[in-house]
Amino acid sequence: MDQFIFSAAEIARYNRHIIIPGFGMEAQEKLKKAKVLVVGAGGLGSPVLLYLAAAGIGTIGIVECDVVDDSNLQRQVLYGTADVGTAKAEAAKKRLLSLNPHIHIIIHDTELRSSNAMDIISAYDIVADGTDNFPTRYLVNDACVLMDKPNVYASIYQFEGQVAVFNYVDSSGERGPNYRDLYPVPPEPGEVANCSEAGVLGVLPGIIGSMQALEVIKIAAQTGDVLSGRLFLFDALSFETRTFNISRNPENPINGSNPTLRALIDYEQFCGVPAMEKKIKNVSPEQLQDWQEEGIVYQLIDVREQQEYDLVNLGGLLIPLDTIGDLPQKIDKDKKVVIHCKSGGRSAKAVRLLEEKYGFTNLYNLEGGLIAYIYALELDLPVY
């Protein structure tokens, strides 16, 4: 192995890796040659990117089109207060190169879609999925399977996290399961809230993201026992962990016994997102303001939790989502009813539930929720 692939500065930097028995210069060179794509530079992406950069992964791609917001800083340790309002991808690149100037960072300032996923992912050896929505998770999974790339997956929810490695081929040539083997079908739209809706303990993505980075490093360095065929679960409140075995499903539509998926599909449609949006009526923040100016009488219902309501509210009637289905008598049937949450997911589910269960026809979901309303009307209210 030619150690002169590294400069003297790099050898000094990676010394603590190089002196590990069984790792050494050979594994460090594999890290330098590796090309890793991180999808999402948020809560999970932050620790993943920091540790991959520090470890010396030679080429790191970042797929991220969001901007840094104040509410990110509680958990997205890649950014600082000075980064608020700037593009996450650019801020991430600047931070990572300040941490390790010996690596190459490629920015993909775009949303990953079926139309671009194959082109973007094809340039990398390993993909780390740090997203928080089901359409993108299925998209990443299917693209990785179609292009024979390992997919290092993680997710977080409030106090819980999980990690797994999908579509990994071990040294004996045996291929492990993928995301569709674990979750054959997506949940109903709105059934599982993301972090912006449900919240997440700030330290949790640091813990789970570090484990995700660890699996990427093990794959790149070809060392250790990779978390393939297993799902690792962590409960931060009890500090308990569990590991479940995952088997390949012969009915898997993308690589089972009789695969039917041979190309990427419309993943929002697959996950039912458009169907939910078409089924309910929406009102934009601007339209709601027009109603107010025109004197249109309506009832405003907030389906968030009490602690969210206490932090900031629009004065609506608080009926948390998990109780609204049992309290139809509190909802007016004789005038327009606007239901809102933080960003529109929970309220959309509430509208659909009430329409299907009780036949309401006068319900409107506030598009973008409380956050969109505050920004659109430039209100002097806190955004969490």
Task: Please identify every residue annotated as catalytic.
Answer: 195, 341
Query: What does the radius of gyration of the chain's CA atoms come to, in whole angstroms?
Result: 23
- Find tokens 């309303």 and name the residue: 373
The tokens for 235 are: 């409960």
> Measuring CA to CA, which residue among 90, 105, 129, 94 is closest to residue 216?
129
Rounded-to-integer distance, Cα 85 and Cα 75, Å:
16
192: how many CB neighbours lie within 10 A of its CB?
A: 16
Query: Contact at 8 Å (CB) between 272 and 190?
Result: no
> Measuring CA to CA, which residue among 290, 79, 75, 321 is closest to residue 203?
75
CA torsion, points 367, 192, 253, 136, in degrees to nearest 10? Answer: 50
Angle between helices 204-221 and 24-33 (to 10 degrees): 100
